[in-house]
Structure 1
Amino acid sequence: MALKATIYKANVNVADMDRNVFLDSSLTLARHPSETEERLMLRLLAWLCHASERLQFTRGLSAEDEPEIWRMNDHNGIEEWIDLGLPEEKRIKKACNRSASVYLYCYNSRAAQVWWQQHQAKLSQQPNLTVRYIDDRQLSALVAFAARNMTLQATLQDGTIWLSDEQNHLEVRFTDWLINGKAP
């Protein structure tokens, strides 16, 4: 008998001061049976960083030809391709050819550092690729927000994300490894 996805609901209030985006949204996230709560919450955090009316979660782990999150334009073209983890270079190159902007959120300190050393030179050749890294401590702290029904407030400014709910408050800063194909 196959395990089914666990459904999480998140009501989010986003105030992105850098992009002048202010948004209230109700999101539904399906947690794949093989997905950890850390990864689920990173997916939600990535959505918050790019919040927009058109930003959508995809089939994620169930689809090889889709990212975790994307924003489509009026002509079904991909404006933003947002992925998590440490994908193969071939997947990233394909994403960069299909989308105007590609964002990759890396995690898992030990594996991510090795992966970045191996792929940095070739990935730097993609002018529309941004690679961001979150350390294990911050990722673990995100789990405190995980609940089947969440109400979250996120404020983003100058590369910092302040996330809160009724009991928890967290300040998150990604380390940018690559911004539009260039080292920061």
Structure 2
Amino acid sequence: MAAGATMLTFDVELADVDRGVYETLTLRVARHPSETDAFMMTRVLAYLLEYEEGIEFSEGVAATDEPAVLIRDLTGAVTAWIEVGAPDAARLHYGSKLAGRAAVYTHRDPVKVAAQWSGKKIHNAEAVVLHSFEPGFIDAAAAAVERRNALTLSVTERRAYLEVNGTSLTSEIRDAPIA
């Protein structure tokens, strides 16, 4: 954990009907002082939307050689590289090559995020997916976050139904290839 990081706790009920994932989790998230509320909330959602055995948070914005979220197999090898925000093409290239599967979850305008990668070399770019949400969804969710949180996320037909500390929100999860 980075010095000065704020620890947040999320008691989560996850029901991802699309993937058949139903879990009750407690997440402890270290929010780095330079990390925005929107980035932190997107990082939590990326973790939940990708949830499977072997998933873990990295050091977030403090990590220079790892993505915000990654998945390892039982041998410790990275199987999925999950970036948050607007990573540069070199990070995506490295992550896609290392893990075999890479994805990006963004709280920003997905058209602008994807435009920065145009013409740049990204390993297996056609398989890298950019996930985004409807405008205002992440900001509204982040505004409801406290130090200790009750969060319920249900996903059906790529639509997220999110409740954070009594605030109910919904958004389509938009998926677009980057190439």
**Do both proteins adopt the same fold according to a TM-score greater than 0.5, normalized to the shorter chain?**
yes
Deviation at 1:83, TM superposition (A): 0.8
The aligned length equals 177
SS of aligned partner of 1:174: strand
Please identify, of 140-149 and 153-162, the stretch whose mean Cα deviation from structure 2 is larger: 140-149
Q: Counterparts of 2:164 and 2:87 in 1: how far apart (Å)?
A: 32
Which residue is 1:9 aligned to?
A: 9
Moved more, 124-133 or 28-37: 124-133
SS of residue in 1 equivalent to 2:29 = strand
Amino acid at match of 1:99: A
Q: Which ranges of structure 2 fall in alignment gaps of 5 or more residues?
A: none
1:105-149, Cα deviation, whole Å (9 max, x unpaired): 12333xx53342242454595243111123541121112331110
Q: 1:121 to 1:17 in 2, by over 3 A?
A: farther
Aligned to 1:113: 111
Unaligned runs of 5+ in 1: none
1:52 is matched with 52
Q: How does 1:1-184 map to 2 (within 5 A)?
A: 4-109=4-109, 112-120=110-118, 122=120, 123=122, 125-178=124-177
Kindly provide the amino acid, as one letter, of the partner of residue 115 in structure 2: Q
Q: Which digits, 9 at most, give the CA deviation of each residue in 1:76-123, with x for residues without a partner?
A: 1111111111111111100000112111012333xx533422424545
Mark the CA change 1:62 to 1:80 in structure 2 (over 3 Å): closer, same or farther.
same
TM-score norm. by structure 2 comes to 0.88
8 Å Cα contact 1:108-1:135 kept in structure 2: no
CA deviation map 1:16-67 (0-9, x unaligned): 1111111111111000001111111111111111122421111121121101
Q: Would the aligned equivalents of 2:94 and 2:123 in 1 still touch at CA under 8 Å?
A: no
SS at match of 1:140: helix
C-alpha contact (below 8 Å) 1:144/1:168 kept by paired residues: no
SS in 1 for 2:136: helix
Change in Cα spacing, 1:165 to 1:106, as seen in structure 2 (3 Å) is closer
Aligned CA distance change for structure 1 residues 57 and 118 (closer, same or farther; 3 Å):
closer
Please give the secondary structure, in 1, of the residue aligned with 2:45: helix
- TM-score, length-normalised on structure 1? 0.86
Distance 1:115 1:170, change over 3 A: closer
Sequence identity, in percent?
25
